[in-house]
Amino acid sequence: MAVTESGASFDDILADYPGLTREQLKAMMGFVRDLVAAKRNGLKSEHKNG
């Protein structure tokens, strides 16, 4: 069972949002993970250059 940073399981989220599919939730979590990683890498680059 996948668990989010907040501790909510995918099943908990899907129960709260019945129009959302597991595949959509996985895609969204992947996007957020990549976005956070890109932001962290950008901040590291800015810190080194600035």
Each residue's pLDDT tens digit, 1-50: 566 667 889 999 999 999 999 999 999 999 999 999 999 888 665 555 54
How far apart are alpha carbons 18 and 9 in whole angstroms?
A: 14
Per-residue model confidence (pLDDT) at position 18: 94
Per-residue model confidence (pLDDT) at position 4: 65
Domain boundaries, the chain: 10-49
Q: What is the SS3 assignment for the chain? A: CCECCCCCEHHHHHHHCCCCCHHHHHHHHHHHHHHHHHHHHHHHHHHHHC
Query: What is the sign, positive or negative, of the torsion defined by CA atoms of 8, 11, 16, 20?
Result: positive
Per-residue model confidence (pLDDT) at position 5: 65
Q: Is the pTM of this model over 0.75?
A: no
* 24 residue type, one letter: Q
